[in-house]
Amino acid sequence: MKSSRRWSRVMKLTVSLSTLAFVAGCAKDAPQDTWQPAGPNAEKIDNLQRPIFYIAGIVGVIVFAAVAWVIFRYRDRGQALPEQTHGKPALEITLTVIPVLILIGVAVPTVGTIFDLAKTSDTEMTINVTGQQWWWEYDYPAVGDNKSEFGIESPIVTSGQLVIPEGTKVLLRVTSRDVIHSYWIPKLNGKKDGVPGRVHLLRIEGSKPGIYAGQCTEFCGLSHAYMRMEAVVLSKADYAAWVANQLEPYSSPSADNALAVEGEKLFLQQCSRCHQVNGLLNSDGTPNIAAPDQYLVSGAAPNLTNLMTRNTFAGAAWDLLTPECRDDVWNASSEEFGAKYLAGVSEECLNQKDLREWLRNAPEKKPMYADPTKLAETGGKYRGMPALGLTEDQINALVAYLLERK
């Protein structure tokens, strides 16, 4: 009797934990929900995984129920050992044929979907995606259809948010500068590894305007959990406006904004060693060219030319927008989304708290290999942004300058 009650408690606990785990994976409107595809490639994956999930669920329930019944029905109650038999050809053949048929039924559509997703010959646009600890760079080359169809007359380099036109098959050329990363925006397609020295191809397409969240899915070091990304899908007209804005020539802060003028000088002194701002000039009038390869293991730092046209910073780990302004953009209708996103980040909507904490001490906010006393293995080069020791006045000036980068 005690054994029976103990078994009953174990079964109840097992069922409760299994149910809890299942429900926990069913969060509604989760940013990275694989069950809510927003593009044809993700829909192909969804059309494949749903029936497989149901089949696996049914098989799992049958197996668990059968095992539970056998354990309960034939538990040891002091009865005599039953007659032993060996060999049940009909049963053995049945238990072999049924799994084989299930596997064939799963394998055929799976192989077809894999080959379909791997096709890149029909893409209309190309973007180079490069991972490094712990952020993603997006390079829009001025070649082919990028130039003739989408107006990209000179290369555009950004980070954090990938911006693509609605209903366009986009070819991503994924690679890495340091260690293995993996690019994954579940609502648009499956993941693709970024491997140093290799280029892997991934086709994505967004069906409607909006922002779609992603995450690096290959452990890549100390701040792997903070290596995020977002894909922004704009209508064709809004995308043309975004491209035009990215290609506008640089303009220094006006003399009326003394704080931003001071911030530009400070940027040249402290930040431009690693961060590029296209069109920024040195005090002698020569173009300022960043040299991150001298200071960083990856040899690159985010291009900040149009920082305030993005909604994120620090590898998309934090929002540049306040929660209220962020929700206004993320929850906008398809018709209103483009205008809200293209408005960029205003002073009223800027997430001052997180940006200032980042400028104050980046390694404290996002763990990085940036202790200057522990860089012997990398020849004195950092993995991430070091603490710059800025004063509050200097931070005020930098924020004022960065607000004009849009």
pLDDT tens digit sequence for 288-337: 999 999 999 999 999 999 999 999 999 999 999 999 999 999 999 999 99
Q: Identify the residue with better confidence: 55 or 23.
A: 55
CATH 2.60.40.420 fits 125-246, yes or no: yes
* Letter string b/e over residues 329-360, b meaning 16 or more CB atoms within 10 A of that residue's CB: bbebeeeebbebbeebbeeebbbeebbbbbbb
227 Cβ partners below 8 Å, 6+ apart? 131, 133, 134, 135, 136, 181, 215, 216, 220, 315, 317
Our CA angle for 351, 331, 309, nearest 5°, is: 45
From the list 364, 342, 355, the residue with the least C-alpha distance to 401 is 355
From the list 189, 183, 182, the residue with the least C-alpha distance to 218 is 182
Task: Give the least confident one: 14-23, 79-88, 158-167, 223-232.
Answer: 14-23
pLDDT for the residue 329:
96
Average pLDDT value for the chain: 91
* Residue 4 pLDDT exceeds 60: no
| Per-residue pLDDT tens over the stretch 91-128 | 889 989 988 998 898 899 999 999 999 999 999 999 99
Strand locations in 206-323 (E): 210-215, 228-234, 312-313, 318-319
Q: Where are the domains of the chain?
A: 33-72+89-118, 125-246, 258-402
Our CA angle for 149, 280, 340, nearest 5°, is: 50
39 Cβ partners below 8 Å, 6+ apart? 187, 188, 189, 204, 205, 206, 207
pTM recorded for the entire structure? 0.87
Which DSSP symbol is given to 345?
-
